[in-house]
Amino acid sequence: MKKNPDVAIDDPTDFSAVERRLGVSRRTFLKFCTGIAASFGLGTNAAMAMAKAIADPMRPPVIWLHGQECTGPTESLLRSEQPSFEHLILDLISLDYHQTLDAGAGHRVEEIKREAMQKYKGKYLLVVEGAIPLAQNGIFCKIGGQTMMDATREAAEGAAAIVAFGSCASWGGVQSASPNPTGATGAPQFLKDKAVVTIPGCPPNPANFLGTVLYFVTYGKLPPIDEKGRPKWAYGRLIHENCYRRPHFDAGRFATQFGDEGHRQGWCLYKLGCKGPETYNNCPSLEYNNVGGGVWPIGVGHPCFGCSEQGTGFNKPMFSLAEVKTHTPPNVFPSISDRQNPTSSTIVAAAAVAGAAVGALLGATVATGKKLDGKQETGQSGDKGA
């Protein structure tokens, strides 16, 4: 097959250049692309398209702004493994401006940012990390003499796409918690006339950001999003739906105190305030940052805080009961000790409750049957009278 010098890869089976550049085998590279495509619900054709896009030496430029935040999203991204951060910024994107990672400093860095924004107008990806304070014309966050309000508005004008990375950038995060003296808000709320993809979390899972960027690199657009701007592939389901403690929830097995028998046995943390039933994220599937071993809040025995869900994290008390989006468990289950060591009294009591329930059900059925028979008889007699 004749090579096209303007295209990095003509033959989709030839990834020798990628192997040299990324330092990974062809098998590992394609496996990674297939996994990313599968997470989007896409097939092998999409995986190959992603592989070709990554292999293309032309990398999309990125302008990365920081507002009110703790830099947690960047810190988590620095520790990502698939791909590693150095592969991301050296092989997948061109990180032209990042206030935490820039080698330079001062006014020259700000000049480089504006030069890149002018040169790549309409082509660069804008990433916003941190909340944007609006109170008193934005004086609570300034970079190089410019408020975060003005910096965000200026960068958004020429961006091909905008990503809000982290809960602070997505909807205000902890900075927007009551009484919110700085008027902190998220990028979507500030840039009301722009489409903003949100990757909430405190900090967010880097895989959700990387997958979104790879989709952008491949297709030149951002992935399908929900009504809150979140990628559906990552935030389409409640944590509760995929949680490996969910069977305990359905069976009525709950930890009621930290360190009790249920807690030690890995039972559901709903009664300890777990917000998984009202929080949308893929934490149970990915855990955190490829560490493995159950490394995420619920995996280590702590209730979900709901950090990625607006109106939950930093708003509701940590140990208050969640608003269950599916169904709320009943409160009549036996205690942990009764379930572990049922005595004759508890068995008798359970049988009595069950018997009473069955008796009530039978009684209601008989009563209903009599009413229906009465109506039927009345109707028949009426017909005869007519």
- With a cut of 50, say whether residue 224 has pLDDT above it: yes
pLDDT of residue 91: 65
pLDDT for residue 267 is more than 90: yes
Angle between helices 44-55 and 26-39 (to 10 degrees): 120
Confidence of residue 57 (pLDDT cuts 50, 70, 90): low
Burial of 340 (0-12, 13-18, 19+ CB in 10 A): exposed
Q: How far is CA 7 from CA 19, 52, 55, 250, 344, in A?
A: 17, 9, 10, 54, 77
For residues 111 and 207, membership in a common domain is answered with yes
Within this chain, do residues 180 and 226 fall inside the same structural domain, yes or no?
yes
Question: Would residue 54 count as lying in a domain?
Answer: yes
Q: Are residues 163 and 273 both part of a single domain?
A: no
What is the per-residue pLDDT for 78? 85
Q: What is the CATH number of the domain that holds 197?
A: 3.40.50.700
- Based on the domain organization, do 160 and 202 belong to the same domain? yes
Q: Give the pLDDT of residue 80.
A: 77
Q: Which of 114, 88, 115 shows the shortest CA–CA distance to 101?
A: 88
Among 196-205, 334-343, 344-353, the range scoring the smallest mean pLDDT is 344-353
Q: What sign does the CA torsion over 280, 286, 287, 291 have?
A: negative
pLDDT at 8 over 50: no
Residue 300: what pLDDT? Answer: 92
| pLDDT tens per residue, range 235-257 | 999 999 999 999 999 888 999 99
Query: Is residue 132 a contact partner of residue 68, using CB atoms and an 8 Å limit?
Result: yes
| 329-338 mean pLDDT | 56
Mean pLDDT lowest among 22-31, 169-178, 330-339:
330-339
Per-residue pLDDT for 159 more than 50? yes
**Statement to judge: residues 247 and 275 lie in one domain:** yes
* Residue 281 within any structural domain of the chain: yes
pLDDT at 374: 47
Amino acid at 240: H
> Are residue 208 and residue 299 in the same domain, yes or no?
no
206 and 227 share one domain: yes
- The reply to whether 124 and 195 lie within a common domain is yes
Q: Lowest mean pLDDT: which of 15-29, 99-113, 277-291, 341-355?
A: 341-355
Average pLDDT over residues 284-288: 84
Does residue 118 sit in the same domain as residue 230? Answer: yes
In whole numbers, what is the pLDDT of the chain averaged over residues? 80
Which domain CATH number covers 278? 4.10.480.10
pLDDT at residue 184 tops 80? yes
Average of per-residue pLDDT across 297-308: 94
pLDDT of 274 above 80: yes
Same domain, 77 and 222: yes
Query: What's the number of domains the chain is made of?
Result: 3
From 204, 235, 266, give the residue that closes a domain. 235
DSSP state letters, 52-88: HHHHSS---EEEEEE-BS-SHHHHHHHT-BTTBHHHI
pLDDT band at 83 (very low <50, low <70, confident <90, very high): low
- Same structural domain, 226 and 245: no
Q: What is the pLDDT of residue 22?
A: 62
Return d(Cα 297, Cα 287) in angstroms, integer.
9
d(CA 270, CA 248): 10
- What is the domain range of residue 120? 60-235
